[in-house]
Amino acid sequence: MSSAIQLNDVRKSFGPTEIIRGVDLDIQKGERHAIIGPNGAGKSTLFHLVSGRYKLSGGHVHLNGEEISNLSPYEIYRKGLSRSFQVTNIFPMMSVFENVRCGLMWSKDYKYSFWHLVDREKELNHRTAAVLEEIGLTSRQHVPAGVLTYAEQRALEIGIASAGGAEVIMLDEPTAGMSHSETDQAIALIRKITEGKTLVMVEHDMGVVFDLADRISVLVYGEIIATDTPENIRNNKAVQEAYLGAEAEDA
């Protein structure tokens, strides 16, 4: 098997403080990989580094064997990596339908076209409708995205990220702040949309993590202290000490 994302000695400093201190990570194609760690460990920062939001202070990132270090977010996206955000990050004044359609446009090769009329593009609109169906927002498609409920916005967030059919999808705390039933729905949704794709997620809810992930990496103070199957992580002493603590014993 070949790797989807490969991190070599990735580093990031803000001023004098080094937040990410030399991360090496190898995520295989088709794998569902979760990154866990205590607050402030740098999980979101790591996401931003991979997806191009932050520039690296050092190290290399490869996507499908191709170097993507320090490329802009849109270049990385075009190479097949799509992501969602921890804080809901949608297009609030546009309709839900429009949100999803925009997420699709690049993958359908419209680029910066100003000679196609979006409403006339049947294929594009059918695919949009399909994604809306998948994320369960068909009935809300004409509503401005800004007025959706929190859980709906989270679903839309995942919809936008997955619409373009990227091979690698990174989800940043997809179930944060959700109720139990909402979480269950979200897990089902994530399962569905990442079928046959590579998933990288940051998640706090251990239930979700152990339910979804094939492998787990534990990030503590900017360093990965362990990468393994859920089973082994649960039993890893170092992880238990550093992070899981009592919680792990309960689980």
Partner 1 sequence: MSEIANTQTGEISAPFAKRFGPWIFLAVALIVLPLIFSSNIAVYTMNLMGIFIIFALSYNMLLGQGGMLSFGHAVYFGLGGFMSVHFMNYIEYEVVVLPMFMLPIFGGIIGLVFAIIVGSFSTRRAGTVFAMISLGIGELIAASSLIFVAFFGGEEGVSGDRTMGPVIMDVDFAQDIEVYYLIAAWAFVTIALMYLFSRTPMGRMANAVRDNDERAEFIGYSQRKVRFISFCASGFFAGIAGGLFAINFEIVTEENLNALTSGVVLLMTYIGGVGFFIGPIVGAVVFTLLQTVLSNHTEIWQLYVGVMFVLTVMYVPQGLTGIMAMHIPAYRMKRLSGLVVPYIKAGIPTILMLSGIVSFLEMVHHVRAAALGETMMSLIGIEFDTHTVMPWVISGVLAVVGGYLTKSQMPQLREAWEQANAPLDSGEGASS
Residues 6+ apart with CB under 8 A from 115: none
Tokens of 147: 């007025």
Residue 76: CB minimum distance to partner 1, A:
8
Residue 74: CB minimum distance to partner 1, A:
5
Report CA Rg, the chain: 18
Backbone angles phi, psi at 17, to 5 degrees: -90, 130
Distance (Å, whole) CA 203 – CA 174? 7
Nearer to partner 1, 33 or 83 (CB): 83
Residue 156: CB minimum distance to partner 1, A:
11
Residue 227: CB minimum distance to partner 1, A:
25
Closest CA to 198 of 178, 212, 210: 212
Nearer to partner 1, 28 or 89 (CB): 89
Nearer to partner 1, 168 or 220 (CB): 168
Tell me the H-state helices in the chain. 43-51, 73-78, 96-105, 122-135, 150-163, 180-193, 206-212, 230-235, 237-239, 245-250
Q: What does the binding site for partner 1 look like in residue numbers (CB under 8 A)?
A: 51-53, 72-74, 77-78, 82-83, 85, 89-95, 97-98, 101-103, 105-107, 110-119, 122, 125, 141-142, 144, 160-161, 163-164
Residue 134: CB minimum distance to partner 1, A:
17
Nearer to partner 1, 54 or 243 (CB): 54
Distance (Å, whole) CA 88 – CA 93? 14
Nearer to partner 1, 52 or 174 (CB): 52
Residue 232: CB minimum distance to partner 1, A:
33
96-127 per-residue burial string, b: 16 or more CB within 10 A, e: under 16: bbbbbbbbbbbbbebeeeeeeeeeebeebeeb
Nearer to partner 1, 84 or 183 (CB): 84
